[in-house]
Structure 1
Amino acid sequence: MSTATARYAGHLRTEATHVASGTTIQTDAPVDNHGRGEAFSPTDLVSTALGACIVTTMAIVAERHEWDLTSCTFEVTKHMSTDGPRRIAQIDVTITLPASLAPSERTLLERVAHTCPVTLSLHPDLVQNVVFEYK
Structure 2
Amino acid sequence: MKTASVRYLGELRTECTHLGSGTKIITDAPLDNHGKAEAFSPTDLVATSLASCVMTIMGIYCQTHQIPFVAAEATIEKHMASDPRRISKIVLDLDLSGNDWDERTKQKVIAAGKACPVARTLEGNVSLELNIH
Using the size of structure 2 for normalisation, the TM-score is 0.93
Kindly provide the amino acid, as one letter, of the partner of residue 64 in structure 1. T
Distance 2:62 2:111 in 1: 13
Matches within 5 A, 1:20-99: 20-81=20-81, 83-97=82-96, 98=98
Gaps spanning 5+ residues in structure 1: where?
none
Distance 2:128 2:66 in 1: 28
Secondary structure of residue in 2 paired with 1:119: helix
Kindly provide the amino acid, as one letter, of the partner of residue 119 in structure 1. A
Identity %: 40
Q: Is the 8 A contact 2:29 2:35 kept in 1?
A: yes
Deviation at 1:99, TM superposition (A): 5.2
The aligned counterpart of 1:16 is 16
Deviation at 1:69, TM superposition (A): 2.0
Distance 2:46 2:59 in 1: 20
Name the CA shift for 1:123/1:111 in 2 (closer, same or farther; >3 Å).
Answer: closer
2:99 is equivalent to residue 116 of structure 1: no
Distance 1:92 1:64 in 2: 28
- Kindly report structure 1 stretches of 4+ aligned residues shifted beyond 4 Å: none
2:126 is equivalent to residue 107 of structure 1: no
Q: Is the 8 A contact 2:87 2:126 kept in 1?
A: yes
Deviation at 1:125, TM superposition (A): 3.2
Deviation at 1:130, TM superposition (A): 0.3
Kindly provide the amino acid, as one letter, of the partner of residue 5 in structure 2. T
Distance 1:61 1:127 in 2: 25
Using the size of structure 1 for normalisation, the TM-score is 0.92
Deviation at 1:123, TM superposition (A): 4.8
Name the CA shift for 1:113/1:29 in 2 (closer, same or farther; >3 Å).
Answer: same
CA RMSD in angstroms, aligned pairs only: 1.2
Distance 1:63 1:117 in 2: 18
Q: Which moved more, 1:93-102 or 1:14-23?
A: 93-102
Secondary structure of residue in 1 paired with 2:59: helix
Gaps spanning 5+ residues in structure 2: where?
none
Number of residues of Structure 1 aligned to a counterpart in Structure 2? 132
Distance 1:85 1:7 in 2: 25
Q: Which moved more, 1:19-28 or 1:57-66?
A: 57-66
